Amino acid sequence: MIYSIISRAVWEQVSKQSVYAPDSLETDGFIHCSTKEQIPWVAAQFYQGRTDLVLLGIDERDLKPELVYEDLYELNELFPHIYGELNLDAVRKVISFEPNEDGTFSFPE
């Protein structure tokens, strides 16, 4: 399972559709995703202070577009990137993703 962090409002909009195409698909050429272990770091880097997030749990086996694990930013870690619109029938879970009391993020258990 891989995960994508999005706002609750965006999820409410796109969940009624069959595919999800965030801005990163146009700007970067892919949809940024993370493994469970990468989520806290990614959230700390890009979502600090946000309280309106959800995690999409995506089943890699059901993805229609290509999924590539790569290190594009020289972080010495491979991140999953979806090269195409996310077919929403691959989304298995939608998890509320709130920060901890101190503002940090942990993967919800």
- Name every residue whose Cβ is closer than 8 Å to that of residue 45 and which is 6 or more positions away in sequence: none
- Structural domain spans, the chain: 2-92
Identify the band that residue 66 occupies on the pLDDT scale cut at 50, 70 and 90: very high
pLDDT tens readout for residues 21-38: 999 999 999 999 999 999
- For residue 51, with 0-12 CB atoms within 10 Å meaning exposed, 13-18 middle and 19 or more buried, which class applies? exposed
pTM for the complete prediction?
A: 0.94
Instruction: Compute the average pLDDT of residues 9-21.
Output: 96
Pick the CATH number of 2-92 from 2.40.50.180, 3.40.50.10860, 3.20.170.20, 2.60.40.2130: 3.20.170.20
Quick one: pLDDT at residue 73? Answer: 83
Average pLDDT over residues 88-101: 97
How many residues comprise the chain?
109
**Who contacts 3 (Cβ-Cβ below 8 Å, separation ≥6)?**
33, 34, 35, 36, 39, 55, 56, 57, 58
